[in-house]
């Protein structure tokens, strides 16, 4: 097995079959959220996981060491400048001893799978970008969700992606897409996207049962999309306008730099409203993920 530094708390939980929820670190770095909202996101998400009796396990690469479960004094390292680390970058980050590699969904899933963590929570996954016919920009997150036997809990894909194509790609990759208590695939800041959900689920027990079967059949991951809580949502018309302007401003930008820049512009255009919505959905996803992890460990125990 490749070398991973797993914190004592996470190791202990895994050894006893207690619930653990993996978390990425890109969202907490300057690439995902501005300071001090990034620290608030980290605190609220980890607290929500603990409130349900599960152990949070943040993934990151620190001084070239892939880490699962950070000590409190290490949090500030991922809150600052960091190198975006997707699954393909893990080997580079280790070999070149990157000081701080902030893991994306794909890198986190690879690390969770290696450590034996079955439930992971994020804000929004990467997906198929608008105009992908021209640019070919499809996030490695989608392939990683298909490959690794881990549940990903999200509030949909990043808001400025091509949602119908992202859902279509997940079908092509044979990923079960579950939607929590809604008939539509959610659109991150907004609860609906107009894209029909493939499988609606009502309870976290159902999700745990699907995940268990997926693992028995050794078929890879599961995606659970949870709509943002009603009181925190931004109306679709408003957010679509902001996204359109943000994309127009960043039309020359390509590759890994796209997401951080577009998110920054969306925050500016919505006069900061996108940020509290982002924090609320990340916390809500962490909370639902913890409840699934609890049910999942009951099923196995
Ligand atoms: N969604 C957001 N903010 C983010 C991301 C997603 O609203 O910062 C990050 C996640 O870490 C995700 C990554 O895994 O962007 C995907 O990047 P790309 O599209 O370059 O694969
Ligand atoms: Mn990309």
- Mutate-to-test residue for ligand 1 from 78, 103, 126, highest number of ligand atoms within 8 A of CB: 126
Q: Known catalytic residue: 24?
A: yes
Tell me the torsion sign for CA atoms 206, 55, 104, 148.
negative
Question: Ligand 1: distance of its center to the CA of 300 in Å?
Answer: 31
Q: What are the structural domains of the chain?
A: 5-300 (3.40.1790.10)
Q: Which of 197, 193, 182 is nearest to 240 (CA)?
A: 193
Beta strands in 109-241 (DSSP E): 119-121, 151-154, 177-180, 199-201, 222-225
pLDDT tens for the chain, 301 residues: list them.
789 999 999 999 999 999 999 999 999 999 999 999 999 999 999 999 999 999 999 999 999 999 999 999 999 999 999 999 999 999 999 999 999 999 999 999 999 999 999 999 999 999 999 999 999 999 999 999 999 999 999 999 998 999 999 999 999 999 999 999 999 999 999 999 999 988 999 999 999 999 999 999 999 999 999 999 999 999 988 999 999 999 999 988 888 888 889 999 999 999 889 999 999 999 999 999 999 999 999 999 8
For ligand 1, whether the C-beta of 259 sits within 6 Å is yes
Is the peptide bond prior to 36 cis by the omega test (within 30 degrees of 0)? yes
For ligand 1, whether the C-beta of 256 sits within 6 Å is yes
Question: Ligand 1: distance of its center to the CA of 256 in Å?
Answer: 9
Question: Which residues, at least 6 apart from 288, have a Cβ–Cβ distance to it below 8 Å?
Answer: 121, 153, 180, 204, 224, 226
Q: What tens digit of pLDDT does each residue of 130-163 get?
A: 999 999 999 999 999 999 999 999 999 998 999 9
Q: Known catalytic residue: 84?
A: no
For residue 144, give the ligand nearest its CA: 1
Which one is catalytic: 24, 264, 283, 295?
24
Helix axes 274-300, 204-216, angle to 10 degrees: 60
Question: Ligand 1: distance of its center to the CA of 215 in Å?
Answer: 25
Which one is catalytic: 87, 158, 184, 295?
158
Question: Ligand 1: distance of its center to the CA of 188 in Å?
Answer: 12
For ligand 1, whether the C-beta of 85 sits within 6 Å is no
For ligand 1, whether the C-beta of 124 sits within 6 Å is yes
- Mutate-to-test residue for ligand 1 from 25, 28, 128, 141, highest number of ligand atoms within 8 A of CB: 141
Question: Ligand 2: distance of its center to the CA of 17 in Å?
Answer: 35
Write down the pTM of the prediction.
Answer: 0.97
Ligand 1 atom nearest 139 alpha carbon = 21
Question: Which residues, at least 6 apart from 255, have a Cβ–Cβ distance to it below 8 Å?
Answer: 137
Q: What tens digit of pLDDT does each residue of 36-83 get?
A: 999 999 999 999 999 999 999 999 999 999 999 999 999 999 999 999
* Element containing residue 65 per DSSP (H, E): strand 65-68
For ligand 1, whether the C-beta of 24 sits within 6 Å is yes
Q: Which of 157, 74, 268 is nearest to 82 (CA)?
A: 74
Map tokens 């078929």 to a residue. Answer: 219
* Element containing residue 101 per DSSP (H, E): strand 100-103
Question: Ligand 2: distance of its center to the CA of 95 in Å?
Answer: 23
Residue nearest (by alpha carbon) to ligand 1 atom 20: 256
CA 10 to chain centre: 19
For ligand 1, whether the C-beta of 141 sits within 6 Å is yes
């Amino acid at each position: 097995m490749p070398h991973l530094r797993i914190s004592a708390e996470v190791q202990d939980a895994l050894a006893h079959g207690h619930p653990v929820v993996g978390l990425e670190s890109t969202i907490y770095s300057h690439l995902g959220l501005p300071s001090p909202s990034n620290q608030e996101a980290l605190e609220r998400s980890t607290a929500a996981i603990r409130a349900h009796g599960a152990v949070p396990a943040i993934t990151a690469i620190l001084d070239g060491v892939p880490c699962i479960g950070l000590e409190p004094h290490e949090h500030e390292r991922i809150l600052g400048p960091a190198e975006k680390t997707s699954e393909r970058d893990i080997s580079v980050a280790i070999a070149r001893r990157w000081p701080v590699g902030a893991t994306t969904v794909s890198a986190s899933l690879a690390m969770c799978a290696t450590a034996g963590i079955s439930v992971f929570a994020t804000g929004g996954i990467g997906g198929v970008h608008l105009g992908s016919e021209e640019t070919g920009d499809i996030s490695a997150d989608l392939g990683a969700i298909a490959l690794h036997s881990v549940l990903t809990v999200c509030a949909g894909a990043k808001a400025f992606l091509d949602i119908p194509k992202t859902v279509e790609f997940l079908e092509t990759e044979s990923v079960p897409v579950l939607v929590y208590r809604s008939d539509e695939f959610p659109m991150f800041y907004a609860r609906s996207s107009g894209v029909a959900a493939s499988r609606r689920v009502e309870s976290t027990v159902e999700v745990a049962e699907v995940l268990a079967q997926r693992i028995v059949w050794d078929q890879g991951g599961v995606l659970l999309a949870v709509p943002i809580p009603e009181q925190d949502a931004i109306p679709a018309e408003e957010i679509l306008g902001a996204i359109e302007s943000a994309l127009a401003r960043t039309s020359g930008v390509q590759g890994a730099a796209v997401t951080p820049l577009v998110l920054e512009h969306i925050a500016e255009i919505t006069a900061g409203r996108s940020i509290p919505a982002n924090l609320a959905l990340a916390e809500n996803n962490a909370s639902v993920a913890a409840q699934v992890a609890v049910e999942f460990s009951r099923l196995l125990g």
